[in-house]
Structure 1
Amino acid sequence: MADLRVSLAAVGAAVLLSEAARRAAARLLPGVYWRCALEAAATFQLCSCTHELKLLSGAVPLGLPLGLTLTYVMTVVHLATFRGATCSPYAALESVCRGASGVGAAAVIIACQFAAGVAAQYFAVSIWSLGLSDLHVRHQRFGFRCFDPLGGTLLEAAAVELGCAFAVQAAAMHAHKLDEKLRLHFVAAVITALVYTGGGVSGAIFNPVLAFSVQFPCSGHTYLEYGFVYWLGPGLGMASCILLFEKLLPFLSGENAVRPEIQKKKTQ
């Protein structure tokens, strides 16, 4: 339990540090700079917490109830504190395709996300280097190395990442149909279920930046192979979900394919 307490403290420190950065940026940075800082802080928080929880779950037998509870609670914390940040390059590219953002702005946001992912790696190592728990000490003895995160073939892992990204995108696109108080918990429940279902095959990352920070440094596969699983898989999953719900199904049913929020703006 000592390892668990220290890991939770490390996760709490990452969340508090990220929240402090968000509040400082809100006061000091205007416009597009605030947006970039928001994405960087949220991505740093997501990656830092995942580094610690991945280490904890891989070395300490948490049990299914506690493991799922931690996943759900941390997902709720992330969604509640991100303030609209997506932490995903594909979301930035989607905004470009929809005409909501320029290519330059999206490129800057993506660069900030990847920079935050790298910063999270250094933050995690700095925490582990303190040797605050036996878990951290053991990890330090192995040179902070991580090993093959895939529990299946490359195709199986890519298929899992594709399916996870599809499901999360579908949940995000339809969450507006629920009561506002339930939306966050609905998405968190979907993500928790996906982690439980696909975690043993690919880790259920379904986020290119998170995978770059947490999975790519691990031994067992090349960067190209990890890119196939964690970049191509989620990209295809997200794109296929959007095409299905906004193009194919409306075309087959003869309905308007305009998204609800866009339709609302047009009627105002």
Structure 2
Amino acid sequence: MSALRGLRPELQDTCISLGLMLSVVLLVGLARVVAQQQLHRPVAHAFVLEFLATFQLCCCTHELQLLSEQHSAHPTWTLTLVYFFSLVHGLTLVGTFSNPCGVMMQMMLGGLSPETGAVRLLAQLVSALCSRYCTGALWSLGLTHYHVSERSFACKNPIQVDLSKAVITEAVCSFLFHSALLHFQEVRAKLRIHLLAALITFLVYAGLSFPPNTWHF
């Protein structure tokens, strides 16, 4: 922390947030290694890996949302972080879905049995709840000026445009992303991860205008 004292306060806060996200990635990576070595039952193995992957993704998403609000006047920086962490998640969370839509799509295609799919969906739900409380506890420490315990996770309506525009935007973005997942299956893994990260960044950029100057994950 002493190395950050010479930086401007807003830059210090950004570095701390990035450090927290990278720490989560490293801890989850260590836990994945331990799980792969110690867990030999397929069901338990699938549950734990899906739990860890979703936990990493949710924690980073909460923190990225904070950063996007602090740097709302600089969307290029926000998009850079989206691409970087999409790439990090793609490289570190191989073999997991971290998304209920991905699980259900594989179940419908016959790639997952209903039992395995149900286990993965349960792991995602439990992990999302855990990440919410863990992130809240972390913010209560006040490590940055926008980490405050009063910050609410309460559900609220994020749609600030016409419902028809919101539905069309969401439908088009979801269709493009899941279509890309299907068509990129034959692409080499390293290249596929870069392509998906670039696509996610493009979709976030495309959604920036609905409504302008706001951004929701």
Give the TM-score normalised by structure 1.
0.69
Residue 107 (structure 2) aligned to one of 96, 105, 108: 96
**CA distance in 2 between partners of 1:144 and 1:100 (Å):** 34
**Pair 1:65–1:171, CA change in 2 (3 A):** same
Is 1:21 matched with 2:31? yes
Which segment drifts farther, 88-97 or 33-42? 88-97
Q: Aligned pairs, how many?
A: 203
Q: Is the 8 A contact 1:10 1:127 kept in 2?
A: no
Secondary structure of the residue aligned to 1:100 is coil
Structure-1 residue corresponding to 2:64: 53
Q: Give the % identical residues.
A: 34
Structure 2 regions of 5+ residues with no counterpart?
1-10
Structure 2 residue 135 is matched with structure 1 residue 124: yes
State the one-letter code of the partner of 1:67: T
Deviation per CA, 1:192-244, whole angstroms, max 9, x where unpaired?
Answer: 00011114538564xxxxxxxxxxxxxxxxxxxxxxxxxxxxxxxxxxxxxxx
1:1-268 matches, cutoff 5 A: 1-30=11-40, 31-61=42-72, 63-136=74-147, 139-142=148-151, 148-201=157-210, 203=215, 205=217
Please tell me the root mean square deviation across aligned C-alpha atoms, in Å: 2.2
Offset, 1:100: 2.9
Give the CA deviation at 1:179.
Answer: 4.7
Distance 2:154 2:71 in 1: 17
Give the secondary structure class of the aligned counterpart of 1:57: helix
User: Contact 1:128 / 1:140 at 8 angstroms: preserved in 2?
Assistant: yes
**After TM superposition, which residue ranges in structure 1, 4 or more long, deviate above 6 angstroms?**
none
SS at match of 2:87: helix
> Shift of residue 51 of structure 1?
0.3
TM (norm. structure 2) is 0.84
Per chain length, whose mean CA-contact separation is higher, i.e. which structure has more relative contact order (CA < 8 Å, sep 6+)?
A: 2
